[in-house]
A and B are shown apart, each in its own frame.
Chain A
Amino acid sequence: MRVCRILPKLLLLLIGVVGSQGCSSVAAWERGNLAKKEMALDPNPNLSHIRDHIFTSREASQGGRANSGGGCGCN
């Protein structure tokens, strides 16, 4: 899939854009947007839990940020 080969480059580009914003000081009263539910690391832990259990039982990789499990998932 050609699209898939482009993805890593897109990610690098994104990290570059983010990085360019630097670690400028963000005062507490400027953090309203960061406090939105949608900006949480995982805004929907229940759904992630269900999805990740499926991923770990269908793929070899385990662990990391996006992961969940429980049980064998052998089938």
Chain B
Amino acid sequence: MDALILEVVVAVIKLGKNRTLAALTTAALSLPGLDAGAAVPVANAQGNVAYGNYQESGNRMNVQIYHVDGIVSLTDRIELAFSYDRDTYTGASPAYSMPATMANQSYDTTGLSSSYYQNQVDAHLPTSADVISSASTVSTQTLMGTYPSSTSGLPNFQSYWNGLEALYQTNPGHYDALYFDPVAGTFDTNTMVQSKEFVMAGINNALNSVVPTGTQTIQRFQTQPLETRTQPTFGAKYYFDNSTLGLSGGQSDEPDYVSTFGAINFSHEFNEKKTTVSAGYNVANNAIYRNEGMSMAPPGVGLGMVMPPDCTGGKCMPTSHLNTSSMFNGMNLGLTQVLAKNTLFNASAGYTNQSGFLSNPYKAVYIRGEVTPEEYYQLYESTQGGPKADWSSITKLDMLGLDLFRENRPKERNQFNLSTGVNQYIPALDASLHFDYRFYHDDWKVNSHTFEFKWFQPLPFGITATPNVRYYSQSQADFFAPYFLAQRADNHYSSDYRLSAFGSLNGGLTLSKKLGKGITLEAGYDYYMHASDLKLGDGGSGSYADFNYYMAHAGINVDLSAPASLFGGGDSNSHEHHHHHTHFGSLPPAGVMFGHMMHQSNDVMIGYMYMNSQQGGNMLHGGQTVSDALLAQGASIPIDPGSIPAGGFPTTQQIAGLNDACPGYGAAGINKFTDFGCLVKPTSMVMGMHMFDIMYAPTDWLNLMVMPQLVDMKMSMSGDLRTPMGQNQSMDWMNSSTVNEVMSPTDANSMYAGMNHNVFDLGDTIAMTLIKLFDNPNHHLHVGIGGSAPTGSVSEVHYQVASVPVPGGINPNTGLPGSSMMGPFYPVNIKVLQDIGMQAGSGTWDFKPSLTYNGQIEDAFWGAQYSSVNRFQDHNKSGYALGDTYQATTWAGYSMFNWVSATVRGVYTQQNKVRGDLYQIQASQILDGTNTDQTGHDTVSPVNYPQNTGGHYWDVGLGVRMMAPNGAFAGHTVSFEWLQPVKDVVNGYQLERTGSFAVNWSYMF
């Protein structure tokens, strides 16, 4: 976090320096005016948009990176800057590492007489599993016993029984004391209570004998539900004659980490502006949480939840929720020196103090001996009716599984760094070479060296190629180990690979091309190798954690201080002419797409449009409001007798509503839901679309347009719609044997209750051709022919399931579980997708024709448009196609002044139902092991069913448009329109619409 502030501060320095040099050049060019002003704000405004795709090897983390920033001058002294970052990440990351011998231990299949368990093993389980596991909820019960209910219990493993066997062999006289079943000739845990001696032998054998010192390390991963980080940052700078003062601040927000930060920086130039010194201070306050619990992670996803030691499954809530904080304070000093006419030198020093919770909330460590076999026996006894174990005397760490704990780092960290670099210009090549070195040290005993080299090489055609190489090497933190075979006195442990000893090598190439003066395009690729062997000198932490990643990136820079020459060859006379000819005031309202043409060849327009539509309030069925009770129909709520009309029969509406909103799939199976109705309903849905468009007129009758989009959607679900029928009917909460939708019979809520869904991703990309059909001064008619390419995802994941509990016993006729007893865990890879309305794209190639008429007389104008969206394919790769859309709209407006106009509009939209559906989970194929790699979706809410999509909609809109007819902002247009829903008639059951708006900015060159 402090890193961010440092970056901001550094950026302030960098920008300041860059500007200094630019100003110096200006001064040099206006000889002999050497006393020209120093650094000054940007001439007009600049903006950047960047995208990156980060992918780690081995299907680990994937991050989609979006960045936008802008900088604008208020006066000749003050400059304002903002930036907005958004990362969306998903995938797997290392959770912990452990001795390889603890992995893939054999399950016990011979020492037991339990035919029930034997059958489960034979039918459904892998023959081995990790002794150390965090796959399930952890309590003393799963740590030590109630065999055979959990894979986490020691008695499930062959090695445990080997210990008993050894004891039996060496002490035949203990035969009776050990409760060995003489009839079956086996140990029978179903009937016997074992002696301490007996149990200790098993524990010792399982924990000690299989972990010889020096055992290789093996890594275990956890999956990460789709999450988004959002970071707005604002900055301001004031330019004195020879100094610059900068202030910046912002907030980084992700579900489990909210960081608020600020920085101040001052720089001063002297020595004929050959020297710049700077100083800065920064602070960050971080609120840290941990995502877990029933609303986020179904069983088997991610790390387990730690239960209080006296808790048995289902009777208590997880206690692992984390709510803590940390504070970072940093300062830095910098120096930049012109050494020669082609050489620039810089150096800086920084110090940061971090305090508070500095551990990683998701990482675990394997520690042998933190809980001794004696203590394990205490835990065992407490599950057998013995005295309660004193958990706090057993360990101060959070326990996650057998010998598995949450990591624990010191509460303070002091970081120091020294950096130096040289920029060298090579006149013969017109190239600039940058060499940088950084030394880093902290009191966790991490030392690192970073070497970086970049070569900026201008090439013909306005292209610049920048190859870069970076080498990094660090030593390990003093409390790091891949796994621990002894306790540490300071109680600090981490197995996070970031604190290990390793090196990394990173190489990349970036290409940029200037289009005229105003726009620069850029794209590049980086490849990064993290390896223990790459460390300087010896002593890498081991190759088990080695990984690679690549990062592909692209960006566009727009400099608005280069008007009329955006694509080169601009003619300022024709530019002036636009503003007289084009009636900006008479354009259609903001929400009408493809509604106007540019009428001059070589015109270029860039624009940004944001559309936001919201749903909330009541659920509708057709045009009528429906109650929660009706949605939940079939779960536990019969039709309220009071609502049944006289005569004793429910209305047609009530009958039609039965099981209609969430009908389930099929007559039987895990997707069948007819017994339940809807568990939850959506309470709000917000869909935002960011559209960027570039429009170009090759001739006066043809316009070409490209429009990439980003979509940003958020949906919230209600609490549980069902109401218990009575105090003693807790079974009404529970799933029957078909659907595991609650964690346990005593849960008060479905795990789906109150869930929030978020998607932020690239949407489909529109390409459009507008062709003029008729044009005179008062009437214009044009047709739009184009479509959208399926660049948006239709497999946005809601969560991933890495293992499912195998219920006790399968009914061979249905392939379904026949008993409510939860069995061991079975490894699967199930991706549960967001519902269709939350997918970022359509997934199909879509045809988007439109016909638009615009008319005007003096200050009054009007228009009409008919448009449709037709899908070229009947299903996308997730199994469905969105319904076709038809829309008719008409508007009228008036230009009150030459800079503002207002519009009123009416809209009718018909949206057809979704065809097909998202693919379903084939439950029987999971249970019989033929297909454990599946994609599915929830079935608990009306939004999960395609019949609840589409409808007929009527809206009225009010809009306003402003444009600058002349002056510094000539060519800029801003418009806004609010659309108020008048009537909805929906298919099936849907949340009603509450309104939408569109904001549009465009700039014509």
Contact = CB atoms under 8 A, between A and B. Distances in A.
Contact of A74 (B4, B345, B360, B446): B360
A18 B424 contact: yes
Interface in B457-494: 458, 464, 466, 471-474, 477
Interface in A20-35: 21-26, 28-35
A30 to B, nearest CB: 4
Nearest to B13: A41
Contacts of B504: 58-59
A45 to B, nearest CB: 5
Interface residues of A, number: 62
A8 B288 contact: no
B362 A74 contact: yes
Nearest to B435: A14
Given A18-B345, A38-B464, A44 B510 contact: yes
B21 interface: yes
Contact of B342 (A33, A65, A70): A33
With a 10 A CB-CB cut-off, give which of B288, B342, B536 has the most chain A CB atoms: B342
A63 B440 contact: yes
A63 B425 contact: no
B361 A74 contact: yes
B385 interface: no
A4 B499 CA distance: 20
A35 B7 contact: no
A34 B21 CA distance: 7
Interface string B700-721: 0000000000000000000000
A29 B33 CA distance: 10
Interface stretch (B22-30, B185-193, B653-661, B764-772): B22-30
B17 A41 contact: yes
B300 interface: no
A71 B352 contact: no
Interface of A: 1, 4-5, 7-8, 11, 14-15, 18, 21-26, 28-72, 74-75
B551 A18 contact: no
Contacts of A46: 48, 50, 67, 69, 555
Contacts of A63: 2-3, 6, 330, 332, 350, 352, 415, 417, 440
Secondary structure call for the A interface? loop
Contacts, number: 261
Contacts of B259: 70-72
Contacts of B651: none
B147 interface: no
Given A11-B435, A31-B24, A64 B419 contact: yes
Contact of A62 (B24, B415, B449, B534): B415
Interface in B707-757: none
Nearest to B464: A38
- Nearest first, the 3 closest Cβ-Cβ pairs linking A and B are A69-B3, A35-B25, A68-B7
Nearest to A69: B3
B258 to A, nearest CB: 9
Given A63-B440, A67-B3, A70-B229, 12 more contacts: A4-B471, A28-B24, A28-B34, A33-B342, A36-B432, A38-B431, A41-B423, A42-B14, A46-B67, A66-B436, A69-B4, A75-B91
B524 interface: yes
A30 B344 CA distance: 13
Contacts of B24: 28, 31, 34-35
B498 A59 contact: yes
A34 B456 CA distance: 13
Interface of B: 1-4, 6-7, 10-11, 13-15, 17-18, 21-22, 24-25, 27-28, 31, 34, 48, 50, 52, 54, 61, 65, 67, 69, 85, 87, 89, 91, 93, 224, 229, 231, 250, 252, 254, 256-257, 259, 272-274, 286, 288, 330, 332, 336-346, 348, 350, 352, 360-363, 415, 417-425, 427, 431-432, 435-438, 440, 442, 444, 446, 448-452, 456, 458, 464, 466, 471-474, 477, 498-499, 503-505, 510, 522, 524, 526, 528, 530, 533-534, 536-537, 549, 551, 553, 555
Contacts of A75: 61, 89, 91, 93, 224, 362
A65 B10 contact: yes
Secondary structure call for the B interface? strand
B24 to A, nearest CB: 5
A64 B27 CA distance: 32
Contacts of B438: 61, 64-66
Contacts of B48: 46
Nearest to B25: A35
A72 B254 contact: yes
A49 B342 CA distance: 26
Nearest to B31: A29
A26 B456 CA distance: 23
9 contacts: A1-B533, A8-B451, A26-B338, A42-B14, A45-B11, A53-B3, A66-B436, A71-B87, A71-B252
Nearest to B444: A60
B450 A61 contact: yes
A64 B534 CA distance: 22
A1 B241 CA distance: 50
A70 B423 contact: no
Given A26-B341, A59-B504, A65-B348, A49 B67 contact: yes
A58 B530 contact: yes
Contacts of A68: 3-4, 6-7
Contacts of A61: 417, 438, 440, 446, 448, 450, 472, 474
Contacts of B13: 41
A44 B350 CA distance: 22
Contacts of A5: 536-537
A47 B524 CA distance: 9
B67 A65 contact: no
B341 A30 contact: yes
Nearest to B456: A38
Contacts of B22: 35
A62 B451 contact: no
A23 B339 contact: yes
With a 10 A CB-CB cut-off, give which of A5, A50, A60 has the most chain B CB atoms: A60
A28 to B, nearest CB: 5
Given A62-B352, A70-B231, A49 B7 contact: yes
Contacts of B4: 53, 68-70
Contacts of A36: 425, 432
Contacts of A4: 471, 473, 503, 505, 534, 536
Contacts of A42: 10-11, 14
Contacts of B256: 72, 74
A71 B231 contact: yes
